[in-house]
């Protein structure tokens, strides 16, 4: 999709976003009323070279959904030059809302389809009535396009089947992103994991024919105002191990790499948003499979920090990978300001918060408030789940320090985060947040301006956090 800023340029059709019919001309209003068009969300009506799109409010998320609805209607049409006014009446739209609605809303994963849809649409954003300078608008456009490109890249990665995207593939992708963005990239294999006591991560991948990969990407600005560390679960496929998932439960488990994949998208945009923080991304790329050498329930694993873990369920594997990755991050990176981990970790998260909301857990209420601001800015939904004094006893083991899975499903999103808390150093407790993105990372249906499948969850949220003003 080609998007550019224009003033009074020729077009084939114009998108007109409305929340009432007051601004319509008399004859248009009559046609719209006869068509039962009431300017409500999801309502669309074509009249000659105008596409009327309903909207509930001029809130950013409603604007994105409106343009998503418009472009998906127009993709099937013959119109090629599409005009968008930057304002509707007295309301001036933000460039990022228009672009995200159009670009993220029109995404389709067609890599494996024999017949691919051809859609060469040109979007002309008419900025004649804008209150901003052309330089400011152009900067906003370029930044928005870059972020959308990163989100769609993550969607492509997560949607790619496990036979074509495995741990080594993730490492190669990380190296490519590093080369394109001037990042540092280190990749370690299973020998490194064994030599450095990362037995929990090693155990998860030991039955796979694909070697596990520990990936460390680093972005360094010329002048840094802080140091941020991200850790991502990269299960390129998860069959559950010997605690085998059901056949139905295995479908879509290519999505279990969403946490690490989101970090690739974030790192791909740091240079373009001129990020002022030094940022490290630690990706644990592993495939959880079965075989004669698979790790087993009843095994006791020793993590990098010496904590022993009784395995009670090999399908609670993501937290094992994250535990060693969190230890690696804190051992190798000093003077950390924030440390966040991202994972499609628990189904209970979806039951508790719904399909569209990421759970956020941690010890710092101040840090949670900053994430809430980033949520409102980005449009990605977050919900907060609380720790309490009674739950830690649920992950105590009779034969090791802790168990990787409790016998009770009660509060299992919280107990999973409490498991990870055992691998956060005391000085970093208030700097750490856990993001369970199991709900919004992958849905087998379209919603809002998100397509069927992967959404690129957490990319826009964290980029908004990194761009915040103190």
CA-wise closest residue to 170 among 329, 321, 356, 309: 321
Alpha-carbon Rg for the chain in angstroms: 24
d(CA 407, CA 414): 14
Angle between helices 134-159 and 258-269 (to 10 degrees): 150
**3-state secondary structure at position 84:** strand
Residue with tokens 């395995």: 311
**SS3 string of 308-366?**
EEECCCCCCCHHHHHHHHHHHHHHHCCCCCEEEEEECCCHHHHHHHCCCEEEEEECCHH
Residue with tokens 């083991």: 397
d(CA 241, CA 165): 19
Token digits for 27? Answer: 């004859």
Residue 390's CB is within 10 A of a number of other CB atoms, namely 8
CA-wise closest residue to 65 among 263, 438, 356, 268: 356
CA-wise closest residue to 411 among 381, 440, 387: 387
User: Residues 308, 309, 313, CA angle at the centre, nearest 5°?
Assistant: 170
Angle between helices 167-181 and 258-269 (to 10 degrees): 10
Instruction: From the candidates 132, 245, 271, 370, give the one annotated as an active-site residue.
Output: 245
C-alpha 162, offset from chain centre: 19
**Strands (E) located in 86-209:** 87-88, 91-92, 122-126, 184-188
DSSP notation for 212-248 = PEEEEEEE--SS-S-EEEEEEEEEEEE--TTSPPPHH
What is the DSSP code (8-state) at residue 106?
T
C-alpha torsion angle, residues 337, 264, 307, 212 (rounded to 10): -160
Name the phi and psi angles at 68, rounded to 5. -60, -45
CB 311 within 8 A of CB 298: yes
Instruction: From the candidates 227, 304, 319, 443, give the one annotated as an active-site residue.
Output: 319
User: Residues 164, 166, 170, CA angle at the centre, nearest 5°?
Assistant: 105
245 in active site = yes
376 in active site = no
Name the phi and psi angles at 233, rounded to 5. -75, 120
Positions marked active-site: 245, 319
């Amino acid at each position: 999709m080609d998007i550019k800023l224009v003033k009074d340029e020729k077009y084939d059709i114009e998108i007109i976003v409305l929340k009432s019919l007051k601004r319509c001309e008399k004859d248009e209003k009559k046609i719209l009323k006869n068509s039962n068009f009431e300017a409500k969300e999801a309502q669309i009506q074509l009249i000659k070279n105008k596409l009327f799109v309903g909207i509930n409010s001029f809130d950013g998320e409603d604007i994105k959904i409106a343009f998503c609805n418009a472009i998906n209607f127009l993709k099937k049409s013959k119109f090629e030059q599409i005009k968008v006014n930057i304002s509707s009446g007295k309301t001036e739209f933000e460039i990022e809302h228009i672009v995200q609605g159009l670009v993220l809303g029109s995404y389709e994963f067609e890599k494996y389809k024999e017949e691919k849809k051809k859609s060469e649409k040109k979007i002309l954003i008419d900025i004649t009535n804008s209150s901003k300078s052309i330089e400011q608008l152009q900067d906003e456009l370029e930044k928005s396009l870059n972020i959308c490109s990163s989100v769609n890249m993550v969607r492509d990665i997560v949607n790619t089947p496990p036979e074509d995207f495995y741990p080594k593939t993730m490492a190669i992708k990380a190296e490519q992103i590093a080369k394109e963005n001037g990042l540092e990239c280190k990749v370690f294999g299973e020998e490194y994991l064994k030599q450095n006591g990362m037995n929990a991560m090693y155990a998860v991948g030991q039955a796979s024919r694909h070697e596990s990969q520990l990936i460390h990407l680093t972005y360094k600005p010329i002048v840094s105002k802080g140091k941020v560390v991200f850790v991502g679960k990269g299960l390129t496929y998860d069959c559950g191990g010997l605690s085998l998932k059901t056949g139905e439960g295995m479908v879509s488990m290519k999505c279990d790499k969403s946490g690490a994949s989101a970090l690739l998208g974030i790192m791909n945009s740091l240079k373009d948003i001129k990020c002022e923080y030094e940022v490290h991304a630690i990706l644990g790329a592993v495939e959880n499979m079965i075989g004669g050498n698979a790790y087993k329930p009843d095994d006791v694993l020793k993590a990098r920090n010496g904590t022993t873990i009784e395995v009670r369920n090999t399908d609670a594997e993501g937290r094992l990978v994250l535990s060693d990755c969190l230890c690696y991050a804190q051992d190798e990176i000093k003077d950390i300001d924030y440390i966040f981990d991202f994972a499609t970790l628990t189904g209970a998260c979806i039951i508790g918060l719904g399909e569209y909301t990421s759970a956020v857990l941690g010890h710092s209420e101040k840090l949670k408030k900053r994430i809430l601001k980033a949520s409102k800015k980005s449009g990605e939904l977050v919900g907060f789940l609380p720790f309490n004094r009674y739950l830690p006893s649920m992950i105590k083991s009779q034969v090791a320090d802790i168990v990787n899975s409790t016998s009770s499903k009660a509060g299992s999103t919280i107990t999973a985060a409490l498991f990870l808390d055992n691998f956060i150093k005391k000085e970093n407790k208030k700097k750490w947040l856990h993001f369970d993105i199991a709900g919004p990372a992958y849905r087998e249906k379209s919603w809002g301006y998100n397509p069927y499948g992967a959404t690129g969850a957490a990319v826009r949220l964290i980029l908004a956090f990194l761009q915040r003003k103190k």
